[in-house]
Amino acid sequence: MSTNLTQSTTAPAQAEDPAPAKDLPKDIIIDILSRLPVRSLVQFYCVCKSWYALRLNPNFISKHFHHSTLSTANHGDRSFFLLTRHQSKAITLLSGTKSVDIPINMDIPFLNISKPLRISGSCHGLVCLSVMPIASILIIWNPATRVFKDLPVSNVKRPNAGPIKVVLGFGFDSGSNDYKVLRIVNYCYPLNQVEIYSLGTDTWREIEANVRFIIFEASSRVFVRGRFHWTALGFRELNGRELIVTFDLGEEVFSQFMLPNFSRENDDNDGDDDDDDEEDEGRLGGVQMVSWIEDVLME
């Protein structure tokens, strides 16, 4: 697969920048384009090379998402769930507002991949996909514009031992106005590597991190206020205790804190005389919520 930006339909020949556009400052042009609906925007990508280059420009994506969010607020919620079945290459779209959800098979231009896909995160309408089982291929995909990008192979030097577990996170760093992918590669304890990919620079780099935990396989990452959150199992002085682990995408540091004690064994009176209490365990998992413009997706 190519590491260049790709579209599922062949783009027509692109002309040089038109003369009228040169009379307008670049930031004004970007602001105008960022206010267009997706369907019109895709057509304008073909006007000139500089506009075509905006397809996965982090600053432009952020601005367009902001204006799209305002439009969505004025026209009601148009949220959707993206689902991937276990050990499957299919991706299904479900409406998040209708009483009856009708699966819609997505037109995915890179399904020639022979291995199963996993949704590893979504942010501002972009979806990060990884190829199972160890995220050997990573893709950032914009389903609304039909644009996707293969992430380059990391040049970080690997140890001789093969990875036993890979954990991914995808989010937006408002401080640098950039989209980033976090990759935690676990080898035999205590060996591990932590890497960050920047969409703005299109590069990977390794960061120093004291990883004293292993994230649970079934733990679903939650990205809130610039931080990833997982449930994990602590090592060393943490003595096998369950934790909530966070990673600040701007500061690029891990933090952890103990889970609250949900046990009611020592409660003298829980307000219920029934000795056969059952506790329901809930978690955020299984789906990724993405907001798009509905009429584009339903084409």
pLDDT (tens digit per residue) in 142-172: 877 778 888 998 888 887 777 778 889 999 9
Asked if 214 and 151 touch (Cβ cutoff 8 Å), the reply is: no
Q: Where a domain ends, among 55, 75, 95? A: 75
Residue ranges making up the domain that contains 202: 156-259
Q: Return the higher-pLDDT residue of 69 and 210.
A: 210
Look up residue 113 and give its two tokens.
Answer: 């991949």
Q: Where a domain ends, among 52, 75, 98? A: 75
Check whether 92 has a pLDDT greater than 80.
no
Task: Convert 84-115 to b/e letters by CB count within 10 Å (16 or more is b).
Answer: beeeebebbbebeeeeeeeeeebebebeeeee
Residue 292 lies in a domain: no
Q: Return the higher-pLDDT residue of 40 and 194.
A: 194
Look up residue 135 and give its two tokens.
Answer: 């995220």
Residue 162 lies in a domain: yes
Residue 274 lies in a domain: no
pLDDT, one tens digit per residue, over 5-41 is 444 444 455 555 554 555 777 778 778 777 777 677 7
Residue 129 lies in a domain: no
3-class secondary-structure state, position 138: strand
For residue 262, count other CB atoms closer than 10 A to its CB: 7
Residue 283 lies in a domain: no
Look up residue 75 and give its two tokens.
Answer: 């026209």
Q: At 278, which amino acid appears?
A: E
* Listed residue (261, 267, 146, 171) closest to 221, CA to CA: 171
Q: Supply the pLDDT for residue 202.
A: 93
Residue 60 lies in a domain: yes
For residue 131, count other CB atoms closer than 10 A to its CB: 19
Q: Supply the pLDDT for residue 260.
A: 74
Task: Give the bridge partners for 139, in sequence order.
Answer: 129, 150
Q: At 199, which amino acid appears?
A: L
Q: Could you tell me which residues come within 8 angstroms of residue 241 by beta carbon, excluding any fewer than 6 positions away?
A: 233, 234, 258
Q: Where a domain ends, among 26, 56, 75? A: 75
Spatial distance between the Cα atoms of 224 and 81, rounded to a whole number of angstroms: 18
Spatial distance between the Cα atoms of 176 and 191, rounded to a whole number of angstroms: 30
Spatial distance between the Cα atoms of 297 and 284, rounded to a whole number of angstroms: 25
pLDDT, one tens digit per residue, over 247-294 is 999 999 999 888 776 654 445 444 444 444 333 333 333 334 343 333
Asked if 93 and 101 touch (Cβ cutoff 8 Å), the reply is: no
Residue 23 lies in a domain: yes
3-class secondary-structure state, position 123: strand
Domains: count for the chain: 2
Residue 119 lies in a domain: no
Q: Which of 33-37, 83-87, 107-111, 262-266 has the lowest mean pLDDT?
A: 262-266
Task: Give the bridge partners for 121, in sequence order.
Answer: 128
Spatial distance between the Cα atoms of 33 and 38, rounded to a whole number of angstroms: 10
